[in-house]
């Protein structure tokens, strides 16, 4: 206050910067929103998506009984490594509509020789069996998780969910929601090559 005798003339650059600041902030926010909208459009950004807590870790220990009549062995944690290649674990249910959407992709992976292991989540065995008879059975192994407790150990929060486990038995990728053709070509196939 004592410097009032030497009145500081307002620096025109400072003024200009102050005037521009809101514009810069608004521009930044606009760019951010644009990126989010674009991501929503292409599917690379999901505001409800939740990262898995299991990425980089070994799958939980579990052992699930086989599906009666499906002619496939059951699934346990020991089956997930020592395959010499990455494997997929796909949680599905006959009552789940997105599972029908992703099923052709599972069939395609299975035909390509990728070990796809299935877990029937909270599904009556005869319904799971009907689902596989209608849409084909891509699963080399198939466990039945009727109470859904093993799924909780995996951190599952809905079906379908698909996990990629690398050769050494570490979870590298989790996809919550249907594996569409785009997911397959843009995400999953590059990952399968990387961890092959």
Partner 1 sequence: MMRLLQALFLALLLAGPALAAVGDPAEQLPDPVLEERARAIGRELRCMVCQNQSIEDSDADLARDLRRIVREQVAAGRTDAQVLDYLYDRYGDFVLLRPRFTLATALLWGMPVIALLGGGLLILAMRRRAPAAAPAELTEAERARLSRIEGGSDRPIAGGVGGTAANGPKA
Return the residue of 36, 53, 78, 97 that touches partner 1, per CB under 8 A. 53
Member of 72, 81, 122, 167 binding partner 1 (CB under 8 A): 122
- Nearer to partner 1 by Cβ, of 149 and 194: the residue is 149
Q: How many Å apart are CA 172 and CA 158, to the nearest integer?
A: 19
8 Å CB contact between 170 and 54: no
Among 85, 134, 149, 194, binds partner 1 (CB under 8 A): 149
Tell me the window of 98-106, 130-138, 149-157, 164-172 that interacts with partner 1 (CB under 8 A): 149-157
Among 7, 41, 56, 113, binds partner 1 (CB under 8 A): 7
Q: Which of 92, 117, 139, 154: binder of partner 1 (CB under 8 A)?
A: 154
19 lies in the site for partner 1, by CB under 8 A = no
The two structure tokens encoding residue 168:
């050494």
Residue matched to tokens 């997929």: 88
Using the rule CB under 8 A, is 152 a contact of partner 1?
A: yes
Distances from the Cα of 17 to the Cα of 59, 143, 171, angstroms: 54, 64, 49
What is the C-alpha R_g of the chain?
25
List of residues contacting partner 1 (CB under 8 A): 1, 3-4, 7-8, 10, 48, 50-54, 60, 122, 148-149, 152-155, 157-158
């Amino acid at each position: 206050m004592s410097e009032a005798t030497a009145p500081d003339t307002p620096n025109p650059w400072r003024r200009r910067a102050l005037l521009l600041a809101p514009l810069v902030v608004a521009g930044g926010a606009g760019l951010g929103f644009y990126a989010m909208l674009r991501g929503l459009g292409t599917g690379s950004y999901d505001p409800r998506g939740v990262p898995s807590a299991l990425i980089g870790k070994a799958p939980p220990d579990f052992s699930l009984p086989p599906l009666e009549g499906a002619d496939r062995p059951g699934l346990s944690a020991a089956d997930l490594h020592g395959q010499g290649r990455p494997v997929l674990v796909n949680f599905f249910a006959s009552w789940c509509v997105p599972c029908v959407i992703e099923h052709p992709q599972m069939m395609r992976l299975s035909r390509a020789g990728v070990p796809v292991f299935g877990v029937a989540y909270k599904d009556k065995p005869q319904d799971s069996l009907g689902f596989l008879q209608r849409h084909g059975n891509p699963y080399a192994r198939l466990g039945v998780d009727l109470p859904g407790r093993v799924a909780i150990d995996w951190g599952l929060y809905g079906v379908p969910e698909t996990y990629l486990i690398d050769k050494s038995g570490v979870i590298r990728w989790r996809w919550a929601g249907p594996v569409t053709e785009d997911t397959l070509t843009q995400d999953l196939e590059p990952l399968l090559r990387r961890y092959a």
